[in-house]
Amino acid sequence: MSSAEVISPAQLLRALELQSHAPVARIGEALVSLGMVSDEQLRAGLSRQRREPQVPLGEMLVRMGVVSRAQLQIALVRKMGYPLVNLHHFPATAEALRKVGHGVARRLQVMPLMLHDGRLVVAIDDPSSRHSALDEIEFIAQMKVTPVVGQCLDLDGVLNAAYEKIGDTSANPFAISTDPGRPLEFDLAGTSELLQTLEKEGPAASAPAPEASSEQSDNSLVRMINSMIQEAHREGASDIHIESYPGQEKTRIRFRRDGQLYTHLELPPSYRNAIVARVKIMCDLDISEKRNPQDGKINFAKYSPQHRIELRVATIPTNNGLEDVVMRILASSNPIPLSELGLSPNNLAQLTKAVERPYGMVLCVGPTGSGKTTTLHSALMHINTPERKIWTAEDPVEITQPGLRQVQINPRIDWTFAKALRAFVRADPDVIMVGEIRDGETARTAIEASLTGHLVLSTLHTNSAPETVTRLLDMGMDPFNFADSLLAVLAQRLVRRLCSRCTSSSPASPETVEELLDDYLHAFGTREDDAGRQRDAVRDVWLRRFGREGQLHAYVSVGCKHCSGTGFKGRVGIHELMVMSKTLRRLVQTGARAEELQQAALQEGMRTLRQDGIEKVLAGHTTIEEVRATSNV
């Protein structure tokens, strides 16, 4: 027996303490430094791993015959600092063994050793490669796991002897038959089939609220959660809501798709704690903390390499000691070109001109989830050239593009938008993007930066472009500095888009056209003697832009398989762009009300959210009901 081997709990605790202070090393570098692998062999292993990313590098080198498992263990111990535990001599504690059933331990070929600092210490042949096994143990044990390297000639015999001492001689035949080296497959069935499996495996609904504990059920639940995430992404959902109810009410899972919530499935009540715990494990949150909300992030590629999905997770404590989970599927990490945002030709030209200015401030406003950050990144993409230095402060960083210097805000350590802005000004920027103006300090710093020769882009939670101006003035901004710095304000909303596969059109009735004209002209507050002339002028413009064979058309979608029978597929933006002029600047300087600013902007060509929405109705993109539901008159 080697002197480096651990055979007692005291030795193991000392070894774990040493490992916590050891520098982090990569398995490839460790094998090369020990002379077990040549640089050429390592490159070959990395090249093959790129073709099979689900196989860890160490396991790949073993499969290629480059190194043996014994050599791999030597590298893990000597260069990566993992303690080496002799399982024939180490006295595993009963409390550790009870955290993981005998069948699970045999199937995954792991040995629970002891509990330490709220974590379960387990021995495994290769801690650097067996991530799926360690994740499953965390889920089953409901606690974090600390892996060590286990050395053993007959692990099944050691496990049998250890579990016999605590009176557990059972082993799940289903579990033993599973290949321990093979990760769980997530695409074997959809969530509906896995749900049926769960209901068969789980305790009866009339049981006195025990939580699901069988290993086979745990496997099905893990697969079901992964399938659920895949289906949500495939269906274009933006959020997944997991809602727990007390008593024997089922746990409900809902998807938000195109802004609307739909029930996806319902789980037996006995699984409500297990599903929340599994999600917490996936984003490295504290499983035992149920009284306070927590935030985390899931890199789903870790669990299913072919699905490069990121999710932002929030847990919320609810009554009866339960928790809800909301998972936001983060948008594509690539920005959308400015020309594809659905802006009208006039708005696109004016916004492009504003963001091409060398200094000043451009604001994008609207409620949460209205696509403000997406729009700002599209604007940055338009001006992102090697000649410009662009800094962004975001919470969280969702969209990335080469050339940007992006900073994640962290209020917990007092790293705020305002502090990031001040740091950026000292870092020789050309363009600064601030994720959100939340307070007066951030607003003042942004205005100062825009006045000192920088282009500043930011977002704000306001209802319309004119209201944004009055909101910032109410926050104590200097009217003259603010009027000088502001270039444009873009207000936007997202409405559901008519399904392109089941939409049909027919000539609009005169009553429908008159109703749309009334709605469109309401914002102008036109005098009665001018109303008829303006009405005719607007109708002529509509016929020229949207008419076919001299008629405007009404569009309806009946629903089809492509849109799940809803008649809508995807979303389209409606916009209100107020570009600053000499007249508007004078009004801002004198503290004019939002209504005065809106009337002046309308006279200069601005169109309100409602008016832009009506034009998208005439173009066949959405319905007037959708527009009215998301915009003010």
**CB neighbours of residue 64 within 10 Å:** 13
pLDDT of residue 363: 96
pLDDT of residue 61: 79
DSSP collapsed to 3 states, 203-235: CCCCCCCCCCCCHHHHHHHHHHHHHHHHHHHHC
- Residue 423's contacts (CB-CB under 8 Å, 6 or more residues apart) are none
Three-state SS for 101?
coil
Maximum C-alpha span of the chain: 103
Q: What is the pTM of this model?
A: 0.65
pLDDT of residue 427: 92
User: Can you tell me the distance from the alpha carbon of 334 to that of 398, in angstroms, rounded to the nearest whole number?
Assistant: 9
* Residues 184 and 223 sit within 8 Å (Cβ to Cβ): yes
pLDDT tens digit string along 396-417?
787 888 889 999 988 888 899 9
Place of tokens 């480059």: 66
User: Can you tell me the distance from the alpha carbon of 391 to that of 404, in angstroms, rounded to the nearest whole number?
Assistant: 6
**288, 285, 456: which is closest to 361 by C-alpha?**
456
Side chain identity at residue 421, one-letter code = L
Task: Identify the DSSP state of 125.
Answer: S
* Residues 632 and 598 sit within 8 Å (Cβ to Cβ): no
**76, 84, 82: which is closest to 19 by C-alpha?**
82
Residue 256 parent element (H or E): strand 251-257
The first and second tokens of residue 446, run together, are 């942004």
**CB neighbours of residue 69 within 10 Å:** 12
User: Can you tell me the distance from the alpha carbon of 578 to that of 602, in angstroms, rounded to the nearest whole number?
Assistant: 9
User: What are all long-range contacts of 51-56, with beta carbons under 8 Å and residues at least 24 apart?
Assistant: 53/305, 54/183, 54/305, 56/27, 56/126, 56/128, 56/129, 56/130, 56/131
pLDDT of residue 205: 34
Residues in the chain predicted with pLDDT less than 50, given as ranges, are 1-3, 171-189, 203-217
- Residue 397's contacts (CB-CB under 8 Å, 6 or more residues apart) are 406, 407, 408
pLDDT of residue 152: 82
| Rounded alpha-carbon distances, angstroms, from residue 365 to 146, 475, 625 | 46, 16, 22
pLDDT of residue 192: 57
pLDDT of residue 177: 33
- Residue 628's contacts (CB-CB under 8 Å, 6 or more residues apart) are 610
Side chain identity at residue 592, one-letter code = A
pLDDT tens digit string along 99-151?
888 888 888 889 999 998 888 999 988 776 677 788 888 888 888 888 888 88
- Rg, the chain, Cα only: 30
* Residues 327 and 240 sit within 8 Å (Cβ to Cβ): yes
User: Can you tell me the distance from the alpha carbon of 624 to that of 614, in angstroms, rounded to the nearest whole number?
Assistant: 7
